[in-house]
Amino acid sequence: MKFKRQMEDGYVALVLSGKVMGGPDFEKFHGEVKDLLAQGHRKFLFEFNKVDWINSTGVGIIVSCHQSIRDAEGRLVICGANKRVKNVYYVSQLDKIFETYDGCDEAIAALT
């Protein structure tokens, strides 16, 4: 998994790519979210347009980040997941926890 941070007006976008499967990526990504929270950011967009796959450990990364953001009274929206990633959400019933949007424009509008 790779990710790129983009500071936008009113929110932070974290653009993920590759396979979200845990391992050393967990600490790096969750650390980035925690650092941004410590800096006072509270609105996050996780963009999944370039994510090929996510496994249960990868879902754990996103759940942990969601929990940290929620604990800081922040908000997380997710956009652009492909069909394979969405299936993982539905099977694990995360579509009831995460605020997800097909298009990123729609997610940005909801966030801001």
d(CA 81, CA 20): 12
> How many domains in the chain?
1
Name the 3-class secondary structure at 97: coil
Neighbours of 90 (CB within 10 A): 10
CATH of the domain at 34: 3.30.750.24
What average pLDDT is seen over the chain? Answer: 92
Instruction: Give the structural domain span for 98.
Output: 2-111
Which pLDDT score, from 0 to 100, does residue 15 have?
A: 97
Determine which of 11-20, 51-60, 85-94 has the lowest per-residue pLDDT on average: 85-94
User: What's the whole-number mean pLDDT along residues 88-111?
Assistant: 89
User: What's the whole-number mean pLDDT along residues 100-107?
Assistant: 94
Q: If you search the block for the tokens 């500071």, which residue do you land on?
A: 7
Which pLDDT score, from 0 to 100, does residue 93 have?
A: 81
pTM exceeds 0.85 for this model: yes
Which pLDDT score, from 0 to 100, does residue 88 have?
A: 87
Q: Are 45 and 9 in contact (CB under 8 A)?
A: no
Say whether pLDDT at 87 is over 90: no
